[in-house]
Structure 1
Amino acid sequence: MIFLLVKLSTIETQRIMVVFDDLVQKMELIEILPVIVSHADLFKSTIDTETMNEINRHEQLKHALETNTPLQSVTNIIEKLPQFENYTRCFDKALSRNANEHIAYHYYIQQSIRNILRRLVHQQNHFDNIKRILQSKKLLPPQKDVIKLLKMLRDSAMERFLTTPLEEREKDDQIKSLNTRLSSNETIIAKLEKELNDAIADRDAEVCLEDFFRYFIVCH
Structure 2
Amino acid sequence: MSFADMAVMETFRLLDKVRAEGPKERPERPNIDFPQVKPHRPTKPKEPKSQRTDPLRILDPGRKKLTTVESQRILAVLDESIKNAEVVSLLPHACENVNRFSVVLGVETVLAIQEHEKIQSAFKDAAQKLSDYKNMDKESRKSTPAAESELHEDDYDELQMIESRRTPLEDKVGSLTLIDEEEVHLSKMVNVQAQQLKFSCRNILRLLSINPAAVNALRSEIKERDQEAGSMIGYMRDLRSFILERLLTTPLEEKEKTDYLREITIRERKNSEVIKKLSAELQEAIEDKDMKISKQNDEIRRLKGDLHQLEKFSEEHIRRTKSEADKQQQADYKNSEVKQTKLHTDLQTLRTQLTNQTSEHRESELALRKRKYMIETEVENWIQKYDQDMGERQAEFEDLDTIYTEEKTQLNELEERFKTLEEEYTRIVEERRIAQEKKEREERELAMMIKASTMIQSFWRSYKCRKALKNKGKKGKKGKKGKKGKR
TM over 0.5: yes
Indicate the structure whose relative CO is greater, using CA pairs within 8 Å and at least 6 residues apart.
1
Shift of 1:91: 7.7
TM-score (norm 2): 0.34
TM-score (norm 1): 0.66
Residue 140 of structure 1 aligns with an amino acid whose one-letter code is: R
Following the alignment from structure 1 to structure 2, what is the Cα–Cα distance between the partners of residues 40 and 191?
A: 71
Q: Does 1:141 align with 2:226?
A: yes
Following the alignment from structure 2 to structure 1, what is the Cα–Cα distance between the partners of residues 107 and 115?
A: 12
**Which of 169, 172, 188 is the matching residue for 2:255?**
169
Q: Does 1:53 align with 2:134?
A: no
1:26–1:121 CA contact under 8 A, matched in 2: no
Secondary structure of the 1:40 match is: coil
Following the alignment from structure 2 to structure 1, what is the Cα–Cα distance between the partners of residues 204 and 70?
A: 27
Following the alignment from structure 2 to structure 1, what is the Cα–Cα distance between the partners of residues 266 and 228?
A: 39
Shift of 1:22: 2.6
Specify whether residues 201 and 43 from structure 1 end up closer, same or farther in structure 2 by C-alpha distance, changes over 3 A only: same
Following the alignment from structure 2 to structure 1, what is the Cα–Cα distance between the partners of residues 123 and 288?
A: 81
Partner of 2:241: 155
Following the alignment from structure 2 to structure 1, what is the Cα–Cα distance between the partners of residues 282 and 67?
A: 59
- The number of residues matched between the two structures is 196
What aligned pairs does 1:86-97 form with structure 2 within 5 A after superposition?
none
Q: Does 1:131 align with 2:189?
A: no
Shift of 1:50: 2.1
Unaligned runs of 5+ in 2: 1-23, 26-61, 127-149, 164-181, 307-487
**Which of 75, 79, 82 is the matching residue for 1:17?**
75
Q: Does 1:186 align with 2:272?
A: yes
Following the alignment from structure 2 to structure 1, what is the Cα–Cα distance between the partners of residues 81 and 297?
A: 78
1:67-93 Cα shifts (integer Å, max 9, x gaps): 466537xxxxxxxxxxxxx7877885x
Partner of 2:331: none
Shift of 1:109: 3.8
Specify whether residues 44 and 213 from structure 1 end up closer, same or farther in structure 2 by C-alpha distance, changes over 3 A only: closer
**Which of 25, 43, 50 is the matching residue for 2:101?**
43
Shift of 1:139: 1.2
Partner of 1:71: 152
Specify whether residues 23 and 205 from structure 1 end up closer, same or farther in structure 2 by C-alpha distance, changes over 3 A only: same
Specify whether residues 124 and 177 from structure 1 end up closer, same or farther in structure 2 by C-alpha distance, changes over 3 A only: farther
User: Percent identity, aligned pairs only?
Assistant: 27
Residue 240 of structure 2 aligns with an amino acid whose one-letter code is: R
Unaligned runs of 5+ in 1: 73-85
Secondary structure of the 1:46 match is: helix
Q: Does 1:114 align with 2:202?
A: yes
Following the alignment from structure 1 to structure 2, what is the Cα–Cα distance between the partners of residues 105 and 208?
A: 78
Residue 208 of structure 2 aligns with an amino acid whose one-letter code is: L
Residue 85 of structure 2 aligns with an amino acid whose one-letter code is: M
